[in-house]
Amino acid sequence: MPSFRVISYLLSEQAPVWPGNPPSVKTEVFQAIARGDAANTTLLHLFSHSGTHIDSPRHFNEAGALGWQVPIERYIFFRPRIITIPKPSGGLIALAELEPHRAQLAEADLALLMTGW
């Protein structure tokens, strides 16, 4: 039976962002029953580079595919590995730090490096 592990940051105004980026998400009450509206609804303002995400090829390559153009099958993995290497914000992972995980990485079809940032 497959096991699952949550690896995503929750989207909130406090979620970490790349320096200079706006907050991950802002919320705004759009409709409110208390104001006489038929329902309570919220408007979400979401920056495209928010939270835990996958960049599309277009992010760094003007000729690259947009997110919706990438086949969903590209994101299905059967041997993912999560490697934890604690780092402070902006900390770099040295090649020597990956060496103890060589066997795991060799068999993986996806490697996720968790730094705790």
Are 55 and 92 within one domain? no
- The answer to the question of residue 69 being in a domain is no
- Point out which residues pair with 83 in neighbouring strands: 113
Report how far residue 95's alpha carbon sits from residue 105's, in angstroms, rounded to the nearest whole number: 12
Give the length of the chain: 117
Report how far residue 49's alpha carbon sits from residue 22's, in angstroms, rounded to the nearest whole number: 9
Could you count the other beta carbons within 10 Å of the beta carbon of residue 60? 8
Are 52 and 84 within one domain? no
- The answer to the question of residue 72 being in a domain is no
Residue span of the structural domain in which 104 resides: 77-117
pTM score: 0.63
pLDDT one-digit tens code per residue, 54-107: 889 999 999 999 999 999 999 999 999 999 999 998 899 999 999 999 999 999
3-state secondary structure of 43: strand
Are 83 and 111 within one domain? yes
User: Can you list the alpha helix ranges (DSSP code H) found in the chain?
Assistant: 95-98, 102-107
- The answer to the question of residue 94 being in a domain is yes
